[in-house]
Amino acid sequence: MIKRLGYVLALGGVMTVLAGCGENNEASMDNNGNTNNGADNNVEENNNSNNENNANNENNNNSNTDNNSNEAVEEDVDELVMGFIPSQDAAEIATTAEPLEEFLSEELGIDVRAEVMVDYSGLIEAMRTQQVDIGFLNPFGFVQAEDRAGVEVILKSIRHGSDSYVAQYTVPADSHIEDLDDLLEEEGLVWAYPDDLSTSGFLFPAKQLMDMGVENLDNQFQRLSVGGHDNAIMQLIDEQADFATTFDDARDTLADEFPDIHEDLRVIGYTDEIPNDTISVRSELSDNLKEQIQDAFMSLNDNEEMLEVMHEIYTWDGVAIAESSDYDIVRDVFAEFEDDLAN
């Protein structure tokens, strides 16, 4: 409507100018018997001026349209979905995250809802299709999500004062397996781990075992993917696996239920350092909203109640600003398994 009105006004201006010029020309003809060159020049100047005004109006209208479009995108975000991966019972994570939902909703002025996904692949796909806005992605999950879905890392977790961690190998206390070398001595050991896309649960240990001499993981081990770090530990308690790989120290997630777990299960080794888990955002969120989300999560560092919630969910003690380059070491491991995990 604004653009159409601009055109009407501009057209009216042109007609007025032409009418005035016609009168001047007629007067010149009466007085001189021929047309007045000065009037022609005035017509041209007026036309040029009106054309410039039209162009300026059109540019302004386009600018307003772009601004309105950007505002519309912001207004359309009336809910933010946080995607979690179960490191423990999914229903428990959803319940534990409720205070975080309320806190972020108040901080951002937008409803925030937590959703526990089945696995890493599901979370990556949900972020790719813009169904999940904020992803609590493990390091490898982030690297893959950045590659496949254009997600952006904004924060990383702090545990025990550090922004990195290690994966650990755990066996039953009475196991004949004493160290990592023993894992290579016999074939057919049952290996329990959370997920094929778990950085500490599978990828870093798998790369380490291959570097130690395992040529084919499937020939060497019976692989048992169980959907969570606590579930991997449970396989040892239930005597369903010979060893498990998890983050350090996943035994703590079950300590309330099994008070003697640190005596019943023994750690035999660790991987190299791994950068901590991420908070990442989907590609189509506005920069302004990304910044608001980052600020809201950073404020958790000064909120003891929210830090307790994060510790219950993922044993996080805080968050720090993160950059994509922090995860270059993970990309190196990803390159090792990219062909196997591409599908």
Helix H segments across 150-216? Answer: 180-183, 204-212
Cβ-contact 233, 170 below 8 angstroms: yes
Confidence band of 50 (pLDDT split at 50, 70, 90): low
pLDDT in the model for residue 94:
82
pLDDT in the model for residue 174:
97
What average pLDDT does the chain have?
82
Whether the pLDDT of residue 51 is over 70: the answer is no
Cβ-contact 194, 201 below 8 angstroms: yes
Question: In the block, which residue shows the tokens 């995607």?
Answer: 83
Hey, how many other C-beta atoms are within 10 angstroms of the C-beta on 311?
A: 14
Cβ-contact 152, 280 below 8 angstroms: yes
Q: How does pLDDT run across 277-302, given as a tens digit for each residue?
A: 999 999 999 999 999 999 999 999 99
CA dihedral 111, 305, 319, 273 (to 10 degrees): -130
- In this structure, what are the phi and psi dihedrals at residue 186, rounded to the nearest 5 degrees? -135, 150
pLDDT in the model for residue 11:
37
Hey, how many other C-beta atoms are within 10 angstroms of the C-beta on 169?
A: 22
Q: How does pLDDT run across 195-245, given as a tens digit for each residue?
A: 888 889 999 999 999 999 999 999 999 999 999 999 999 999 999 999 999
Query: What whole-number distance in Å separates Cα of residue 199 and Cα of residue 324?
Result: 16
pLDDT in the model for residue 134:
98
Cβ-contact 286, 185 below 8 angstroms: no
Please give the structure tokens belonging to residue 316.
Answer: 């996080």
Measure CA 50 to chain center: 49
% of residues, the chain, pLDDT over 70: 76
pLDDT in the model for residue 25:
40
Please give the structure tokens belonging to residue 59.
Answer: 């540019």
pLDDT: which is higher, 337 or 12: 337
CA dihedral 245, 247, 253, 254 (to 10 degrees): 20
pLDDT in the model for residue 342:
58
How many Cα atoms within 13 Å fall on the side-chain side of residue 152? 14
What is the DSSP-derived secondary structure letter of residue 250?
G
pLDDT in the model for residue 77:
84
CA dihedral 56, 59, 60, 66 (to 10 degrees): 180
Report the interhelical angle of 328-341 vs 204-212 (nearest 10°): 80
29-33, 135-139, 180-184, range with the lowest pLDDT:
29-33
pLDDT in the model for residue 205:
96
pLDDT in the model for residue 72:
32
H or E element at residue 247: strand 243-247
> Which of 183, 311, 304, 193 is closest to 244 using CA atoms?
193
Hey, how many other C-beta atoms are within 10 angstroms of the C-beta on 21?
A: 18
pLDDT in the model for residue 337:
84
pLDDT in the model for residue 92:
79
Q: How does pLDDT run across 69-104, given as a tens digit for each residue?
A: 333 334 478 999 999 987 656 677 888 899 999 999
Please give the structure tokens belonging to residue 120.
Answer: 């890493």
